[in-house]
Amino acid sequence: MKPTTFAKYLTDFFGKYLEGERGYSANTVSAYRDAMTLFLIFMRVTYDISADRIDFKDITQERIIAFLGWLETERKCSVQTRNARLAAIHSFFRFLLYRSVDHLSEWQRILAIKIKKTSRPMVVYLTSEGMKLLFAQPDTSKSKGRRDLTLLSLMYECAGRVQEVAGLVPARVNFGKPTTLRITGKGNKSRLVPISEQGSKLLKAYMQENHLLDDYANAYPLFSNGRGDMLSRMGITAILKKYAAMARKINPALIPSKISPHVLRHSMAMMLQRNEVNLVCIRDFLGHKSVTTTEIYARVDNKQKREAIEKTSLSPTPKKIPSWQNNKGLLLWLENLGK
C-alpha cells in the first residue's frame, strides 16, 4: 500500500525535524510520539479510520477538539496532560505550515485551539521527618535494598526529574568537594548539581559495591534492574510507591496518599526555600527555564506562616488581672456594697 501524504510528513516530523532541525531531547520526542499515537488510536476507534489510511482530509479542527475531549473523558487524563498532547499536535501542524500549503486554512484553525486553563495544583512534598521515615524503609541488609536507598537519597538530594535520574551514568558523577552530578534536563541542557557529603558517601559505597567506579563501567546505567538494563520511569515510580506504602502504615500523617518521583523533587526545593536559599539559586539547581516556575516554592507552609506572624506581631501583651479580681465572691460583695 502506498503511504499517504500524512504518513510521509509524520515520518519526516519525527525522523528529521524534531531532533535534527530543532534539537529536541529524546524525552520530548517520546512524549510527542505518544500524543500522535493516541490521536491515531482515537481516529480508529471513533471514526473507523486506520493509521495506514488516514490522510489530511480526515483531520479537522473539530476532530482535534473531539480528540482532546476524548482524552479527558475516556482516558481520564488531567487538564495538564490534555494540554501537553495539544502542544505536540500544535508542533506538528506548525511544521506543516511551510511544507504542505494545500490545507493551510485548516492548519491555522487547528493552531488556534487554545490551551485549557487550569488551576495550579498545590505543591505536594515531604517534610524532613517524612523523608527520614521513607529512607528507613529499604532493607539495607540486601543489595537491592541498598540500591533502592541510594536511588531515593539521590533523587531527593539532586532534585532531579525521574528521567534525569534514570539516565545517569557513572561518568556523570564527580567525587570532588563537593560531589557533583552532571544532569541532562529538558532541551538537552546540562547542569551541575552538588550533593551533600553524607549523600556522596552513600553513593560511593553503592558504586563500589556494584563495580561502577571502574573505567569500563563509565557508560553503564547508574541504577539498573536485575537484567542490568537502565531502570525505567515506571520502575523508579514503583520502587518509590512501594516504600511510601510501607512508611504510610507507620505514620500516615507524614506520607501523602498520592506520591510520585516529582514529590521528592518538590521536597528538596521546599527544603531549600525553608532554609532561605535564593529563588534564583533554586531555579538553577532545579534546571527551571524561568524563576517564575520556581516561585511556587515561595508559598510558605502553615508552620512558616505561624513563625512569621509571631516574629512580626505588634499586638500588646495583655495586662495581668489582679488576683483579687478572680475572686467572684469578693467581686459580688463589692458590687452589692452600698445597694
Q: Are residues 9 and 89 in the same domain?
A: yes
Q: Are residues 67 and 133 in the same domain?
A: no
Residues with a known catalytic role = 161, 186, 262, 265, 288, 297
Total number of domains in the chain: 2
Q: Are residues 13 and 136 in the same domain?
A: no
Q: In the Cβ-directed half-sphere of 41, how many Cα atoms lie within 13 Å?
A: 11
Q: Are residues 88 and 153 in the same domain?
A: no
Q: Are residues 185 and 290 in the same domain?
A: yes
The number of beta carbons lying within 10 Å of the beta carbon of residue 143 is 12
Domain hosting residue 212, numbered range: 128-300
The grid cell for 119 is 488551576
How many whole angstroms separate alpha carbon 144 and alpha carbon 324?
Answer: 70
Question: Mean pLDDT, to the nearest integer, of 326-332?
Answer: 57
Q: Are residues 42 and 166 in the same domain?
A: no
In-domain check, residue 197 = yes
In-domain check, residue 25 = yes
pTM of the predicted protein model: 0.67
Q: Are residues 95 and 136 in the same domain?
A: no
Cβ atoms of 125 and 260 within 8 Å: the answer is no
Is residue 313's pLDDT more than 50?
A: no
Checking 65-68 for CB contacts under 8 A at 24+ apart, the result is 65/113, 66/42, 67/38, 67/39, 67/42, 67/43, 68/113, 68/116
Is residue 134's pLDDT more than 50?
A: yes
Written as one string, the DSSP assignment of 130-150 is: HHHHHHT-S-TTSHHHHHHHH
Cβ atoms of 159 and 264 within 8 Å: the answer is yes
Q: In the Cβ-directed half-sphere of 79, how many Cα atoms lie within 13 Å?
A: 8
Question: Mean pLDDT, to the nearest integer, of 14-35?
Answer: 85
Q: Are residues 17 and 148 in the same domain?
A: no
Q: What is the pLDDT of residues 45-68, one digit of tens each?
A: 999 999 889 998 999 999 999 999
The CATH number of the domain holding residue 81 is 1.10.150
Q: What is the pLDDT of residues 208-248, one digit of tens each?
A: 999 999 999 999 999 999 888 999 888 999 999 999 999 99
Q: Residue 39: which of 1, 79, 90, 78 has the closest Cα?
A: 90
The CATH number of the domain holding residue 158 is 1.10.443.10
User: How buried is 7 (Cβ within 10 angstroms: 0-12 exposed, 13-18 middle, 19+ buried)?
Assistant: middle
Q: Are residues 139 and 231 in the same domain?
A: yes
Q: Are residues 94 and 134 in the same domain?
A: no
pLDDT-above-70 percentage for the chain: 83
Q: Which residue has the higher pLDDT, 280 or 63?
A: 63
Q: Are residues 107 and 132 in the same domain?
A: no
Q: Are residues 203 and 76 in the same domain?
A: no
In-domain check, residue 293 = yes
